[in-house]
Amino acid sequence: MTPRQRVLSGMRPTGPLHLGHWLGALKNWVDLQERYDCFFMVADWHALMSEYEHPDPIGEWSHQMVMDWIAAGVNPERSVVFRQSDVPEHLELYMVLSILAPLGWVERVPTYKEQLREVKGRDLATYGFLGYPVLQAADILLYKAHVVPVGEDQIPHLELTREIVRRFKFLYHQEIFPEPKPLLTPEAKLLGLDGRKMSKSYDNFIGLSEDPEAIRKKTQKMFTDPKRIKMSDPGHPEECNVCHYWQVFAPDQASRIWEECRTSKRGCTQNKQELAEQILQVTEPFRAQRGKVAEERAEKILAEGAQKARVVARETMREVKQAVGLA
Ligand code: TRP
């Protein structure tokens, strides 16, 4: 039997996970456990890079996030669930990679300038933030991951990682690292409640751990078809965020609902009320599981995960130190 390939992925603990994370990434992680040896990482150093000015409880978010992962079906017996800052080798490898990564490559990563421009209310013009994708490369290479499930926005970071692998090989004539491949997470077709990208910073999300009443209220406030003023006006479901949610949460009912909307048989208020109940039904298994995950369990999982991760990380660092002549 050939050994299974390795997967590594991470999320930054900067706030509550929302439906977009669940549908876009987490469900995919759960499935990947069947076919790969998976490492799932709480990227708390990465979180600190953007949150360092605020006394945000990154430690608390880390625990909450692990509890969400477990409730969604991540299995810590099978996958290594760990926190980046518990494995100091991440910073050691990051140091080596930052020494050999040409400045031009790092400065050219498109997400860097984009974030400096787009992210408001945070000063990201720091020395450390430039190194964000280099630390991400270290995360991936430390475990010699073959496959990295990510969203589209992370592709440039994977490309930089692959370039760093080639440069390492060129400089030291050693093939310690496989070139990791991105595995594009099937794009979640779920926009935020206001029709923009679902994001914590826009406050337009439904949190995975929100209670049913809050979910009903938020759904009721969603924007609908702007062209439909009265109920008797025919609707334009293709332009209505609520109707798009139906496609995600009840694909088998969506075409009937779209037709009822087009033919004015279904009003927007009813549409939102019923959607809320549908979202509640689909997310109920998650909520039921989430209620059973105790916070102490998160700590224990992270402690055990750190041990397992460090076994691999230490071995890689031993090889790296040898290759670069430090050993
Ligand atoms: N940058 C990733 C994000 O914001 C999080 C992350 C950190 C990550 N390290 C990683 C993802 C390693 C994949 C692999 O989503």
- For residue range 284-326, list pLDDT tens digits in order: 999 999 999 998 999 999 999 999 999 999 999 999 999 999 9
- Residue 89 near residue 317 (C-beta atoms within 8 A): yes
Does residue 154 line the site of ligand 1, with CB under 6 A? Answer: yes
Does residue 12 line the site of ligand 1, with CB under 6 A? Answer: yes
Does residue 9 line the site of ligand 1, with CB under 6 A? Answer: yes
Does residue 160 line the site of ligand 1, with CB under 6 A? Answer: no
pLDDT of residue 188: 61
Q: Is 134 exposed, middle or buried (0-12, 13-18, 19+ CB in 10 A)?
A: buried
Count Cα neighbours of 282 within 13 Å in the Cβ-side half-sphere: 19
Single out the residue of 76, 2, 93 nearest to residue 42, CA to CA. 76
Mutate which of 154, 160, 184 to test ligand 1's pocket (most atoms within 8 Å of Cβ)?
Answer: 154
For residue 122 the two structure tokens come to 């945070």
DSSP H helices in 173-267: 212-220, 241-249, 254-262
Does residue 139 line the site of ligand 1, with CB under 6 A? Answer: yes
Distance 211 CA to ligand 1 centre (A): 28
pLDDT of residue 196: 87
Q: Whose CA is nearest to atom 6 of ligand 1?
A: 10
pLDDT of residue 203: 85
pLDDT of residue 118: 84
Distance CA 204, CA 13 (A): 18
Q: Which atom of ligand 1 is nearest to the CA of 133?
A: 1
Does residue 219 line the site of ligand 1, with CB under 6 A? Answer: no
Q: Which residues of 165-177 are buried (b: 16+ CB within 10 A; e: fewer)?
A: beebeeeeeeeeb
Distance 90 CA to ligand 1 centre (A): 13
Q: Is 76 exposed, middle or buried (0-12, 13-18, 19+ CB in 10 A)?
A: buried
How many whole angstroms from its chain centre is CA 58?
Answer: 16
Distance 231 CA to ligand 1 centre (A): 45
Q: Which residues contact 254 (CB under 8 A, 6 or more apart)?
A: 243, 246, 247
pLDDT in tens, 169-200: 999 999 999 999 999 977 667 899 998 888 87
Does residue 140 line the site of ligand 1, with CB under 6 A? Answer: yes
Q: What residue ranges of the chain have pLDDT lower than 50?
A: none
Does residue 158 line the site of ligand 1, with CB under 6 A? Answer: no
pTM given for the model: 0.94
Q: Which atom of ligand 1 is nearest to the CA of 132?
A: 1
Does residue 136 line the site of ligand 1, with CB under 6 A? Answer: yes
Query: CA separation (Å) from 147 to 9, 90, 214, 252?
Result: 9, 18, 37, 32
Distance 136 CA to ligand 1 centre (A): 6
